[in-house]
Structure 1
C-alpha cells in the first residue's frame, strides 16, 4: 500500500512540474485535518484526476494546507489519501466564473483496516539528491548484500571499504567523518561499521561538502548513518535475522521495537553479530640480499551487541524532551601466523605466532530539548551528548628463528579509555517566506588515556626487557556558527561561517628497563597546539527549469590528527614492519569546491558532478628505519607540502519498466599521492610523489517477477590504483539475490549469492623501494539467507517528530 502511494506521489510530482509550466489559470486549495485530534496533517497525498487518469497533484504543507495551481478550466476528481486514514474523493469543476476553488477544511478519519500493518523497510533502495547531500534510502536489496554496515557500504555510490583494513573512504579519500543519527562516536569508523547490523540502517547520508552548521572535520565530508525508529501509536516493530555461509557461518540479527502511548514514545534497537573471519595472503620481496617470501594466515572471532533505547516526551505542542542511550559491547579474539622464508641461505628464516584478546565497551548518553515558538518554523534545540569507551587489548607474540633455533616471547597489554562530552545549541528563525537564519554554538571536550605495557623475553640468551608507555591526550573545541539562506525566483543561496577555538595538550612518558643497561630509557615529552580559525561555506542552487537544476558549493575543511596518528605507542608489529603515530603531526586544511547538475527524465533522475580540493599541510604516510632494529621499518605519519585532487561522478535512479528499476553510478578521481620512501641503494629516506587516476563503477538492478517475488543483480568494479609503493590490480564482483514476501506481506525471505565468480581479492605489484608482489584473500564468496518480519500496528500521528528527526540529520541546506 505504501509503495503504491509513493508511486502515485512521484507521478503526481512530475505531473505537477509539467503542469506548472502550462500557464493554466485554475487552482484548487484546502486544508487536511485529523478528524479525531483536530490537528493539521502534513505530507498528505493530493491527486488530481481527469477521466480517471492522474494529471497532477501534490502534498500538504506542515500546517496541512495545499494549493495546486495551473489547472485548465474543466471538471476534475480530487483524491485525498494518507496511510492509516480513509480515502476521500471530491468532484469539482473549474470555470471562468469559478477559477479558484477552496475546499476549506477536509477531515480524514482513521481506517481500522490499515492500522493492522506497519511498513519499516522498503523493497528497493532509492537515492535522493538534496541541495547539500545525497540520501540513500536503504531497502531490502542492500540489507541482503551483507550482515553489517561495513559490508553494504561498498554498494553505495562514491563509498568504498578497504577489504583488508576495513578503512572507509569517500570519493577515494579516507579522511571522512562518520556520524550515527547525526551524532559522533568514540569508536573507530572501521570498527564501528562492522558492529552495526545492516538491517538496523534506515538511511545513509553522503554530505560531501557540509555547511558551516556541521563540524568541519573530514576532508572528503561526512557519512551519516540513520538507524530505524518511528512514532507509531501503540506497539509495533520488526525482527531481522540472517546467516552468511562462507568458510565459517556468521550470524546477524536485529530487533526494532516501538511503543507510543499518550505523550510518551519508547523505542529500542538491539543488534547481534557473531562470526569468525578467515584471511590469508602472501608477499614476495626482492629486497637486495634479503630476498624473501612471506605467508600470512589470520583468523578472527568477534561477537558484538549493540543496544539503543530512547524516549520522546511530548510535553505539549511547543516543547519536546528526548533521551537515548547506546550500549555497544564487543568481545574479540584473533590468531595469526606470519612465516618469512629468506632465499639467502645465510639469513635465518622466521615465524611469528600471535594470539590476541580484546574487549570494547562504549556507552553513549544523549538528551535533546526542543522548543517551537509561536512563529512558524522558529525553533531552538539544546543537546548534550556524553560517551565513554574502554578498550583493553592483550596480545602474545611468539617470534622464532627456524635455523638456528631461537624464540622471543613478547606480551603486549594495552588499556585505552576515551571520554567525550559535546554540548550544542541551535536556533532557527525564518525571517520571511524566503529568508532563513540559523545560529548555534558547540563545545566538545575529549580526554584519552592510553597505557602500553610490554615484556620481551629471549630465554636462550637471558635477555629480558620491560617497557611502559603512557599517553594522555586532551582536546577542547569551542565553536560558533551562523547560516543565512535566501530564495528568489529560480535561485536559492546559503552563506555561512563557523568560528572555532581549538586546543590540545598531550603528555607522553616512556620507561624501559632492560637486562642490557644501554637500552634503559626514561623519557617524557609534551605536545601543545592552539588554533583559532574560521570555516566559511557557500551554497548556490539554480533551477533552470522543472527538469534541470544546478548546484554549486564551497567549504573550508580540516583534518585533525586522530589518536592513532599522533600516539607514539606502537599500534601493531610484524617481524619487518611496525606502526606508530607522530606526536608532532599538525592538522591539514582543505578548500573544497563542488558543482552538480541534476536532470529529471520520464524514467527517473540523473545527477552528474565535479569537485576540486586544495589541500594544505597534507597528512600522509612515512617509512623510516627502526633505530632499535635495523631489519625493521617504522610506518608512521608526517605533514607534507600542499596538494590537490579533483574528480567527476555520475549517478542515476531509473525505472525502465514497471518490473525493472536500477541505481547506477560511476566516478573517476585524479589525485597526487605524496609520501616518504627509502632509497634502496643509499638507504636514505626520500620524498616522492605520483599522479593517480582511479575509476569505479556500480550498478544495482531490481526485477519484479510477481507481487511476491523479486530479484536483485548487483555488480561493482574498482579500477587500478597506484600508490608510491605499489600498483593495486583492478577487482570486481557480481552478486545475485532474491526476496519472497510471506505472511500477508508482513514477512520476507531473502537469499543472496555474493561474489559469484570469486574475483574480489587484493593483489599488487610494487617497485619502491624494492620489487614486491603479493595478494590477500578473504571470504568474499558467500551465501546469505535471511528472514524479516514486521509486527504490531499503528497510525503515525506524530509526523512532526519525523520531520524533527529529519531536521536533526538533514538540517541546513538552504530554502529548498
Structure 2
C-alpha cells in the first residue's frame, strides 16, 4: 500500500474513533483513566510556513503499533487532543508530506508541542496516486467552498457557468448573479474586486479552467469590504503548489461552435514558486428574445399590439494569461508578484422584428431593425503581496497592492447606414491594504487584528449615438442618447476586530469605518455631482459548539450597496428603440442590516447546514418602467415629408406612433427580506455523492415613487409589494463501471412577483460524463448544458398604459467535449495552502 493511502486510511479511522477510544487498562496508560490532560500544537508547511489543515496527530503506547487516540488540525493548522497522562509515541502526518515522530514523550500535565513543520515528500509527488476526491462542496459554519476541479459541468465553460452551479447562487439569463435571491452581491477575484466595468460580461470571458474554487460568504465580518448587501463571492484562481515542475493542459470543443485551449505550469523550489496559466477560447452563443406588448388608450381600451422578436449570435474570442512568483525571502517572509492580461474580441449581430397589429389583432406591417455590434476589451492587472509571519503561530503582517486598467470598446451599426453607436470605457482601479493579526493567550485562543484599505477608482464612459443626415451625408450626434460620464471613487477604510474562545463558546466582534468620496460627472451636459459620506459597519459573530459534531452560530453585519456602472449611466444602451434602459446618476447607496442564524451538523456520511436570515435594506434599488413621452414613428403605404416647423405631413400613407418605454433604477424607502435555506452533502456509498440546496425567501417592499410625467402631471406610484420565491438545486455524482463518472445537475427557480409584474419559474438540467486514461494522467469529459433548452428568463409587466410578456434566452443548449492532461501532478485536490489576502477568507477567526 502506498504511503498516501495509509495516511488517508488513518485519517478515516481517527475521525471515527479519536475520542471514543478508551485505554485498555490503567497500567497501560500509566495513569488513572478518569483523568485527562490537553495536548496542543500546530502543524505548518516547512517551506511556506502556511498552516496545514486536516493533518493527523496520532498517539501510540511505546513499542505498540495500535493507535490509542488522536485528532486532526483545523483550518489554522492547530490541534487539541485530550488524553490520559502517560508516556507516548506521537506521529504527525499529512498526505504527500514526510511524517514527523516524537518518541517516548512524557505527558503528565497540559502540554504544548509547539509548531511542527512538515516537508513535502518528493517521492510521493512524482507518483500517480489513487484518486481520493473530496466532495464538490465543503460546508463550513461561516462559508461554503465550491471546488471547481471536481465539477464535470463547467469543463469548457466560463466563470458564469461555475457560479451557476454553486449552492445558494443563481445566474439569470442576462448574467446577473444573485446570492439567496439577492443580486446585491460583491464579486471578488483572488480576494480583489473585479476591475471590469460590466461584471456580468467579464465573468463570461474568464474560462472555468482557470478557477480553482469559489468561496460563498453570506454574512461577512468587518475585515471584508462592506460592499454587497447580499454577501460575497470570492473566485480563487489556480496556482501550483507541488514541488518541481508540474502542470496541466486542457483542450475543449463544443456545439454550438466552441473551442478552447488552456495550460497551467508551475515550478517550485525551496526559495521560489513560479506559476503561469494561459488560455485561448472561441465561442459562439446563439441567443433569442421576444417581447409581446399590448398598448392601451387612456380609457383602458386596447390601442394596438406589437410583437418584438430578436435573435443574435454572439461571437467571443478571448485570450488570458497570468504569470507570477512566490519568493520565500526567509523562513517567515514571502513576497508574491503576478501580472494578469486578458484580451477579447466579440461580435454580436442582432436582428429585431416588430410585428404590428391593430386593436383587433389584425396584422398591419413588420418593421425591422438590425444591430451589428462589435467589441474589444483589454485588461492588465498587477498584484503584489507581502506576508511576514512572526514567531508565534498566527502572528503575521500582510501588505497588498493591486493596480489595473481595463479598456472596453463597443461599436454598432443599426440599420446600416442609418444609425451607429459607440461605447468606449476606461476603468482604472488601484487598491492598497495592510492587515495585522496578533494571537493572544497561552494557546492563541484569542485574536486581535486591525487593518487599512484604500480603493481609488475611475471609470470613464464615452457613449455616442449618431444618425445619418440624408441631406449632408454626414452623421450627427443624437443628443438624446449621447454623453460622456466620469465616475470617480475614493474609499478609505479602517477596521479592527477581536475574537476569543471560552470553552465551547466563541465570539468575534468587529468594527469597520469607511469614508466615501464619489464624483459622478456628465461631461457632455456639464452636470456634476459629488457625494461624500462616512459610515460605520459593525459585525458580531457568536458560535457555540454542541455535542456530536454540531454547532450553532448567530451573526450580524451592516452592509452597503453603492450604485455603479449601468445603474448610474443614463446613456448606455440603444439595442431597442422602443424599450430603453436608462441609468439614474442621482441614485444613493443602499444600506443593509443582515442577521443570520446558522446550524451545522456532521454525521459519518452526511453534512447538514441550515440558516435562517433577515435583511433590512433602506433606500433599496427598484427598477421601474414608464412612458418617456417620445414616440417612434413608422409610415406605411406612403411617404412622410418633414415640414420646416418640425411637423410631419403624411402622403398616401398611415402614420403609426409607438411610445418609447424607459426602464430605470430608483431608490425606494425600505425592503425587508426573510429567508431560510439548507445545504446537504450526502455520501451514501463510495461511488455516489449527493449535494442539494434549497432556499426560500420573501421580500416585502415599502415605498412610494413620485415623478412628473411627460405631460407635466405629477404621478405617484405605490410600490408596496409582498413577494415570495424559492429555488432548489440537486447535484448527483455517480461512479459507473469502468470508473466512468456521471454527474447530473438540476435547478429550479420559482416564480416571483414584483410591484409591476411577475417573473415566471424556470427549470434547467445539465449532464456530465468523464473517464480517466493513462493511469489517471488524462481525463476525457463530455457535458451538456441546458439539456431541455429551457433556461429562459420570462417576465410579465403590467402598467396602466401597457401589458407585456417577455422571454430572454442568453444561450441555447450546448454540448462540450474536453480533454485534460496532467504531468507530474496528482489528480486529487489538496487544500489550498497559499497565502491569501484578507478577502480570501482562509484565515477567518474560528475560535
- More deviation in 23-32 or 3-12? 23-32
d(CA) in 1 for partners of 2:447, 2:608 = 29
- CA apart distance, 1:489: 1.0
**Does 1:306 find its partner at 2:320?**
yes
Cα deviation digits, residues 712-763 of structure 1 (max 9, x gap): 2222211122233333332222333222111112221112233333333333
Q: Is the 8 A contact 1:715 1:733 kept in 2?
A: yes
Q: Is the 8 A contact 1:621 1:675 kept in 2?
A: no
Alignment partner of 1:128 out of 103, 128, 138: 138
Matches within 5 A, 1:690-701: 690-701=721-732
Give the structure 2 partner of residue 486 of structure 1: 500
What SS class does the counterpart of residue 813 from structure 1 fall into?
coil
d(CA) in 2 for partners of 1:100, 1:373 = 24
- CA apart distance, 1:428: 0.6
What SS class does the counterpart of residue 538 from structure 1 fall into?
strand
Q: List alignment gaps of at least 5 residues for structure 2.
A: 25-32, 297-302, 633-658
Q: Is the 8 A contact 1:677 1:688 kept in 2?
A: no
**Does 1:394 find its partner at 2:411?**
yes
- CA apart distance, 1:77: 9.6
- CA apart distance, 1:8: 4.8
d(CA) in 2 for partners of 1:450, 1:6 = 55
Give the structure 2 partner of residue 702 of structure 1: 733
d(CA) in 1 for partners of 2:792, 2:536 = 43
Q: Is the 8 A contact 1:410 1:457 kept in 2?
A: yes
d(CA) in 2 for partners of 1:40, 1:554 = 30
d(CA) in 1 for partners of 2:521, 2:249 = 47
Give the structure 1 partner of residue 334 of structure 2: 320
d(CA) in 1 for partners of 2:331, 2:594 = 41
Give the structure 2 partner of residue 776 of structure 1: 808
- CA apart distance, 1:189: 2.2
Matches within 5 A, 1:198-347: 198-245=208-255, 248-288=256-296, 289-344=303-358
Give the structure 2 partner of residue 186 of structure 1: 195
Q: Is the 8 A contact 2:192 2:839 kept in 1?
A: no
Cα deviation digits, residues 97-134 of structure 1 (max 9, x gap): 99999999999887554131478997564333334322
What SS class does the counterpart of residue 151 from structure 2 fall into?
helix
**Does 1:644 find its partner at 2:688?**
no
Alignment partner of 2:748 out of 717, 736, 753: 717
Provide closer, same or farther for how the CA distance between residues 531 and 64 of structure 1 changes in structure 2, counting only shifts above 3 A.
closer
d(CA) in 1 for partners of 2:292, 2:9 = 56
- CA apart distance, 1:642: 1.2
Cα deviation digits, residues 133-157 of structure 1 (max 9, x gap): 2222223324546611111322211
Give the structure 1 partner of residue 646 of structure 2: none
Give the structure 2 partner of residue 403 of structure 1: none
- More deviation in 411-420 or 344-353? 344-353
Q: Is the 8 A contact 2:251 2:818 kept in 1?
A: yes
Q: Is the 8 A contact 2:704 2:716 kept in 1?
A: no
- CA apart distance, 1:421: 1.0
- More deviation in 665-674 or 16-25? 16-25
What SS class does the counterpart of residue 139 from structure 1 fall into?
helix
d(CA) in 2 for partners of 1:434, 1:365 = 36
d(CA) in 2 for partners of 1:102, 1:507 = 60
Give the structure 2 partner of residue 354 of structure 1: 371
Cα deviation digits, residues 467-503 of structure 1 (max 9, x gap): 4522222111111100100110111100111111111
Give the structure 2 partner of residue 159 of structure 1: 169
Provide closer, same or farther for how the CA distance between residues 11 and 754 of structure 1 changes in structure 2, counting only shifts above 3 A.
farther
Give the structure 2 partner of residue 514 of structure 1: none
d(CA) in 2 for partners of 1:351, 1:332 = 23
Provide closer, same or farther for how the CA distance between residues 38 and 702 of structure 1 changes in structure 2, counting only shifts above 3 A.
closer
- More deviation in 592-601 or 457-466? 457-466
What SS class does the counterpart of residue 744 from structure 1 fall into?
coil
d(CA) in 2 for partners of 1:371, 1:562 = 36
Q: Is the 8 A contact 1:230 1:802 kept in 2?
A: no
Give the structure 1 partner of residue 758 of structure 2: 727
d(CA) in 2 for partners of 1:14, 1:473 = 57
Give the structure 2 partner of residue 59 of structure 1: 72
**Does 1:177 find its partner at 2:186?**
yes
Matches within 5 A, 1:306-705: 306-344=320-358, 349-398=366-415, 409-432=418-441, 433-457=444-468, 459=470, 465-466=476-477, 467=479, 468-510=482-524, 523-629=525-631, 631-673=659-701, 686-705=717-736
Q: Is the 8 A contact 2:155 2:209 kept in 1?
A: no
d(CA) in 2 for partners of 1:87, 1:196 = 39
Give the structure 2 partner of residue 148 of structure 1: 158
Cα deviation digits, residues 356-399 of structure 1 (max 9, x gap): 11111111111112222233322111111111011111111118
Provide closer, same or farther for how the CA distance between residues 456 and 321 of structure 1 changes in structure 2, counting only shifts above 3 A.
same
What SS class does the counterpart of residue 17 from structure 2 fall into?
helix
d(CA) in 2 for partners of 1:733, 1:215 = 33
- CA apart distance, 1:810: 1.2
d(CA) in 2 for partners of 1:270, 1:192 = 17
How many residue pairs match? The answer is 788
d(CA) in 2 for partners of 1:670, 1:38 = 47
d(CA) in 2 for partners of 1:809, 1:494 = 18
- CA apart distance, 1:572: 3.4
Give the structure 2 partner of residue 405 of structure 1: none
d(CA) in 1 for partners of 2:49, 2:464 = 63
What SS class does the counterpart of residue 337 from structure 2 fall into?
strand
Provide closer, same or farther for how the CA distance between residues 82 and 130 of structure 1 changes in structure 2, counting only shifts above 3 A.
closer
Q: Is the 8 A contact 1:591 1:613 kept in 2?
A: yes
Provide closer, same or farther for how the CA distance between residues 139 and 40 of structure 1 changes in structure 2, counting only shifts above 3 A.
closer
- CA apart distance, 1:11: 4.9
Provide closer, same or farther for how the CA distance between residues 457 and 109 of structure 1 changes in structure 2, counting only shifts above 3 A.
closer
TM-score by length of structure 1 reads 0.87
d(CA) in 1 for partners of 2:65, 2:735 = 26
d(CA) in 2 for partners of 1:632, 1:137 = 46
Cα deviation digits, residues 411-469 of structure 1 (max 9, x gap): 11221111111111111111222211010011111112122232112638999632452
d(CA) in 2 for partners of 1:540, 1:351 = 60
d(CA) in 1 for partners of 2:688, 2:732 = 7
TM-score by length of structure 2 reads 0.84
Provide closer, same or farther for how the CA distance between residues 35 and 626 of structure 1 changes in structure 2, counting only shifts above 3 A.
closer
d(CA) in 1 for partners of 2:48, 2:372 = 65
- More deviation in 756-765 or 187-196? 756-765
- CA apart distance, 1:505: 1.8
- CA apart distance, 1:273: 2.2
- CA apart distance, 1:18: 4.9
- More deviation in 496-505 or 43-52? 43-52
d(CA) in 2 for partners of 1:209, 1:479 = 19
What SS class does the counterpart of residue 193 from structure 2 fall into?
coil
d(CA) in 1 for partners of 2:530, 2:768 = 53
Provide closer, same or farther for how the CA distance between residues 496 and 558 of structure 1 changes in structure 2, counting only shifts above 3 A.
same
